[in-house]
Amino acid sequence: MSIVKIILVDDHVLVRDGIKALLEDEEGVEVIEEASDGIKALSILKESTPDLMIIDIRMPNMNGIELVKAIKKEYKEINTLVLSMHDSEEYVVKSIEAGADGYLLKGASKDEFLKAIHAIASGGKYFTGDVSSIIMSNFVNGNTNSMSTKKTATVENPFKLTKRQKQILGLVLQLKNNKEIAEELNISRRTTEVHRFNLMKKLEVKNIKELSDKAHEYNLI
């Protein structure tokens, strides 16, 4: 069995340690290097050639999207998986435009994480289930010019909520807890927590009352 050699790129040591711990008992996978930002990652590539780079999207000096662009320009044979806390279409679209081979939320389960790694290492693509099939279809067909649709979406949906975030919003306003939401949407509890955190942050609210008020004010539900 060939070994999938991986370089981790994330500015949080705890995240890198967590990924290494998750992968250490996985056969056929080896973390060979790690870096805290895009610039350090590129310097490592002068000495080491991985099969896959797992890249955080928000980092100092050079962010994940900029790093993916640089890798695809200089090292086309290296696959890239963007790992992010953010499930907004904007980040997903920019990652795809940069050439990322996959996009996964940090709240994904271990099984999904490993599935993504093996799919990409085998020459495939892997994008989290929250990525709209319409968006993917547009990229497959070479249609990446979405400026006009973005303007319309901004008016109708000023906070640019994703389909999943709208689902989460509706369930949260029904006073359902994370466990109940996870079961209803058939996702992990951790993924639910990430979605809920991102939703509250995007709407700039601190509690359910503020969330409800803003949702009704902007007709989000």
Task: Report the chain (221 residues): mean pLDDT per 10 consecutive residues.
Answer: 90 93 90 95 95 94 94 94 81 87 87 91 81 51 47 50 86 88 89 87 84 80 66
Write down the pLDDT at residue 108.
82
Considering only CA atoms, which of 52, 66, 42 is closest in space to residue 7? Answer: 52
Q: Which residues are paired to 53 by β-bridges?
A: 7, 80
Instruction: Judge if pTM exceeds 0.85.
Output: no
Write down the pLDDT at residue 149.
43
Any idea which residue has 């069995």 for tokens?
Answer: 1
Write down the pLDDT at residue 153.
39
Write down the pLDDT at residue 142.
56
Write down the pLDDT at residue 137.
52
Domains and their CATH numbers in the chain: 4-139 (3.40.50.2300), 148-217 (1.10.10.10)
Write down the pLDDT at residue 94.
86
